[in-house]
Chain A
């Protein structure tokens, strides 16, 4: 029996579309847009202005405060503007817009190919390299990595978990990164494990990626503090909490951090970026992205520079299938990704996939919606052990007290499993997102009122 977590669902993974496409480097031609907020925390501060010449690898936005991250230019050219632009999440954000000269001239003379001597690197050297490279969690949340790697009590860290589960349907980018860059990932893990005296490294991969498992096992062979752990294929296996439950057997409330239970989880893409930053001095300005779905001509796994327009990537992948407008274009996979209103937006560091759906299952589901049956399927799939049926009922009845105190509604990680499994097609996750936003807003207002 493979290790796994409690609950979860088995959506059709649809990975066959792109699972055999090798990683391809894509160099865009159009203008590049760099939002100054591509991470959780305070937006970066622009350090270039209109008319400046920039090179690939140059810092154009500097981290503003501790929980913030540098923004790196991924092409060479001239800064066209620093202005508000539509971002991939739909919000208007301050962006640096660069006219791409198509040369991709690098800031580094060796184009980041020359290996540095890392044997004398201390923990602080690694941390500052990571910080300078502007690395954020590439699993999707975009939490600045240097903050995550500096927990209060480093001795209490027992597990460094590399997340190669890639449980989100459709996406295959990490699968290919693990197949093709296994040695670099293992080296990155060794760097991380070396930072914590009591830690071992665990590389978690879902069973449906046998090539990645064998590649990683080969790379990790003989490394005694690195273990490759195949996991049961189930969504959300790649959630931070699901992984910790599978590896360490621990559940913890959303008010605590993984570090509080002795774990640090990094996406394999992040581990790879750390290795590049530490060993080659390369900042994070390209990342792995899967462009896939039934609505695209040629699904593929790409290495794209940050700031590339989604429209250009789709064009590179052969455009929409049959030239037909798709119903929905998602940033990320279908379980947790968000729908874009327009494809004329730039990809950011955390955009690990573009999924183009020819049909919109959510739209079909809305037509099939019936009253809640109280069948309890949602309660059996919730990885947090919550009672989504009761939560939705309490929230809709306006019983905020019961929602928050008795049902622990704020423990929801919004993985979407309950809404996925619901036979009555109730928009459960959607309600919980709304509820969380409302409750948090109320709490903030209360805190602000208290200060006055």
Chain B
């Protein structure tokens, strides 16, 4: 089995599906000859040609809109937005069209498109290159919002996203694009969407996270084990639609829940998860649901970004308080 990084998993999934399905077209800015600024599409244009791996003019709204047109025509467009910070012109197309094309034509037209974008901080990038605004996308009915947090899930979930009959926003945690390697079978096997993954079993506390924060969260779980605390770690993976059952089952078992995300706290997707646990799991709770998140500030530029991003220490601190509550 080949060893893959997370970005390698993205690349392998794209290559696999392009070879398997002529309907798959990949396009975006600098994704052709250059292979994308993170090399997610490296080698694809050489292999599949410029008709299928398309360098677009520099226009994000166009990229999202043409994906809608291609998808409505039965193709399988996979569009790349270079950074999440440049994805906001696509919101108009995602909200006004992609997410509702099936609904507003009562199934006559549909929109099986994928919009990929790298997101998150911690790579010392310029302004607008480090935000985590996944909650904006997760608020849109009709969309799927999928975030892989390992090479294997990048490969398997991207395949599932491309094959899904409805639009998927696929957000890639760029800080861990190359952080770890994993053996992944390049066999075209997709992983299920709409489910959370329990990536570490535990009995004392449930840590819920997604994207790059999986890294700090697993580190915290490791330290907690040394302290004799057994932490269960859940990678949410699909934010919309949310698999509440996996989270509630875990909380029913552990009685404690800490949610960790990079995005600002207020109105972040952690609030939705906390509300679900409060609505359906209150009587199982031994302590209040807690959140470890980015601050309610503008994402700072690179000199201060380490102070903004939740650290292992901040996670440990909140977990300790939650464990000590009762």
Chain B binds chain A: no
Binding site for A on B (CB under 8 A): none
